[in-house]
Amino acid sequence: MRLLFLGDMVGKTGRTAVWEKLPSLVSDLKLDFVIVNGENAAGGFGITEDIFLETINAGADVVTTGNHVWDQKEAVSFASRHDQFLRPANYPAGTPGKGSGVFYARNGARVMVANIMGRVFMHPELDDPFKSAEAILAACPLKEQADAIIFDFHAEATSEKQCFGHFVDGRASLVVGTHTHVPTADCQILNGGTGYMSDAGMCGDYDSSLGMEKEEPLNRFISKMPKGRFEAASGPSTICGLGIEISDATGLAEKIEPLRIGPRLAETIPSFWR
């Protein structure tokens, strides 16, 4: 199975680039399943229902989120209406929406996608992500209730992300980090066969500070005083994520490499899809 994961869409330039390029990526690369993190898609803070639906229409099968999931107030109401919209699974019981689900890929495979948020340097501090993942895996074991299992681990600390990867190694197809908006160079297959990358990077303008216009973040570092609001950068966007091929027999990773399309960062398409 061929799966594409795209990192956090940031602002209009990020989401527009994904909407424009994703349909051809799905057809040209013969993708079976696509996951996009959309938590920064609305002006850099949260996501609206219209943006979610447009992302699904462009070819995403699931849209994940993170700590900014409720920044747009309408998300509280629409989260429960769409199975393909995921908020972190380790929110307390009773939180609107859901944190995981089983979906069908274009090749008929059952793909379980779970959105988990880390706790180190993260706000709000949610329930234990490791216990949450254990409960999800117990309810939906790989190659029993699911042919592939994907975790979007939305977290700040790379140590927490790496430990989470090792925690589910051999029991999940892929653990990919989101939140820091900077693609890491550690795309790999762990010892037990789980694909792993600490952060997929963002889909947004890299002439920025994490997708935001540079001036206000820079001012706050220098003066410690806010002069204005953070605004999403609006320059040309680079799409960042990763491609993975998952074994039909085992549900584990066979090949994994980054995908980057756009200016500033070196462009790359996974070699096994060229």
Residues of each annotated binding site? 8, 39-40, 67, 154, 179, 181
154 contacts 88 by C-beta, under 8 angstroms: yes
Catalytic residue among 68, 82, 123, 166: 68
Residue positions in the annotated binding site for Fe cation? 8, 39-40, 67, 154, 179, 181
Per the annotation, the verdict on 68 as an active-site residue is yes
Strand ranges in the chain using DSSP code E only, listed in sequence order = 2-6, 8-9, 33-37, 62-64, 100-104, 110-117, 148-154, 174-178, 188-189, 195-197, 202-203, 239-246, 253-261
Nearest of 184, 132, 137 to residue 156 by alpha carbon: 184
The span from the CA of 172 to the CA of 175, in Å, is 7
The span from the CA of 270 to the CA of 29, in Å, is 10
Active site residues: 68
